Amino acid sequence: MRVALLFNEKPAAVEAELLDDTFEEYDEPATVCHIAGALGRLGVAVEPVPADRRLPWRLEEGGFDFAFNIAEGPVGLAGRARRCREAIPAAVCELLGVPYTGSDAVTLGLTLDKALARRVVSPEVPVAPGVLLEDEPWDDPIAGLRFPAIVKPNDEGSSKGIRVDSVAMDGGAAIAVARRLRESYGCPPLVEEWLPGAEVTIALAGNPPNVRLLGMMEIGPACDGGPFVYSVEMKRDFRRRVAYHIPPRVDAPVAAAIERYARAAYRLLGCRDIARMDFRLDAAGQPCFLECNPLPGLNPETGDVAILTAGAIPYDQLVQGILLDALDRTGGRAS
């Protein structure tokens, strides 16, 4: 069986005119090698295939039986947000009739748009009060929120645009951050009321009716300080600045609620094979959905799914399980 490993490689350097987190979602060459190695040990022939503008020709000419998709898709002009980008490699596979791992183009497009994802999962899954800031003036929609609040780009992933100063203490500060984000990332800012409780990420795998829990963990600061934001800066320096608690330090009923809500969101958003979801507790301890990542990072050292399953699921088994679930879903075989 020939498998195309679809990826976008993180460049060694970012051009001066681009934001320093433009390619934050893209994968290091080492990640591609680790995934290829794990799949190869399953007995399939793996070929890394860049998901660039030549992807349709690469797939058509390669004679592949399947695609293992970790590609984030092309960024927009001048590095601006392109909310459909994660859907593009999957759509190419659909066009060419190549079966692939993970969620389809509809789900990949939907989940990258945080506001749309919130609308789809709510009210079955609780979300924090929030507003999407489109056409100005923004004073009226902002006035309906309680502060502090967090301001983030609506159409980005991997904490792009989320910095240590993204928590605004009042409406004026929120508008100032929102204008900066709109100018920098070219997409509407999303403002959500700040949730002061623990942040918990949870990974699910498989397909209905056999969706299984891979694990969950709490993500918090290594040292006490102000409001903890799992920002770009924190992720880049996670060994020194972030503490991972497995299992999360929440009561059993709260953990059960997080899993129940995650399973509901997995279904409502149409996730397939694997997804990671982020939740945060409000002041009353109620879990609220933040976002869903149906293309979770799979670096064995820095990927949240690999971190939260470490010691419970060997890395090779984690990666191979994604392909095996996709093969089971499509009726294929790893041979």
User: What Cα–Cα distance (Å) separates residue 117 from each residue in 38, 55, 160, 284?
Assistant: 32, 28, 17, 23
* pLDDT for position 13: 87
Q: Which domain holds residue 188?
A: 130-193
> Is residue 58 located within the same domain as residue 180?
no
Query: Three-state secondary structure along the chain?
Result: CEEEEEECECCCCCCCCCCCCCCCCCECHHHHHHHHHHHHCCCCEEEEEECCCCHHHHHHHHCCCEEEECCCCCCCHHHCCCCCCCHHHHHHHHHHCCCECCCCHHHHHHHHCHHHHHHHHCCCCCECCEEECCCCCCHHHHHCCCCCEEEEECCCCCCCCCCCCCEECCHHHHHHHHHHHHHHHCCCEEEEECCCCCEEEEEEEEECCEEEEEEEEEEEECCCCCCCCCCHHHHHCHHHHEEEECCCCCCHHHHHHHHHHHHHHHHHHCCCEEEEEEEEECCCCCEEEEEEECCCCCCCCCCHHHHHHCCCCCHHHHHHHHHHHHHHHHCCCCC
Q: Given this model, what pLDDT does residue 224 score?
A: 78
311: in domain: no
- The predicted pLDDT at position 83 comes to 87
List the chain residues with pLDDT less than 50. none
- Say if 22 falls within a structural domain: yes
Q: What's the predicted TM-score (pTM) here?
A: 0.95
For 71-124, write each residue's pLDDT tens digit.
Answer: 999 887 666 768 899 999 999 999 999 999 999 999 999 999 999 999 999 999
The predicted-structure confidence for 30-69, as pLDDT tens digits, reads as follows 999 999 999 999 999 999 999 999 999 999 999 999 999 9
In a domain, 315, yes or no: no
Looking at the structure, tell me whether residues 120 and 210 fall in a common domain. yes
Residue 224 shares a structural domain with residue 147: no
Tell me if the bond preceding 209 is cis, omega within 30° of 0.
yes
CA distance 299 to 321: 15
| pLDDT score, position 335 | 72
Answer whether residue 265 is part of any domain.
Answer: yes
Task: Supply the pLDDT for residue 81.
Answer: 64
Same domain, 145 and 94: no
Residue 321 to residues 252, 297, 325, 326, Cα–Cα distance (Å): 27, 15, 6, 8
d(CA 242, CA 222): 5
- Verify that 203 and 121 share a domain, yes or no: yes
In this structure, is residue 160 part of a structural domain? yes
Last residue of a domain, one of 140, 161, 193: 193
Total number of domains in the chain: 3
Q: Is 334 within a domain?
A: no
Domain harbouring 275, CATH code: 3.30.470.20
Q: Are residues 243 and 283 in the same domain?
A: yes
62 and 11 within one domain: yes
Shared-domain flag, residues 120 and 259: yes
CATH number at residue 177: 3.30.1490
- Is 280 domain-assigned? yes
Looking at the structure, do residues 177 and 200 belong to the same domain, yes or no?
Answer: no
Residue 308 covered by a domain: no
Identify the CATH number of the domain in which residue 53 sits: 3.40.50.20
Asked if residue 96 and residue 41 are part of one domain, the reply reads: yes
Q: Domain check: are 13 and 95 in the same one?
A: yes
221 and 148 within one domain: no
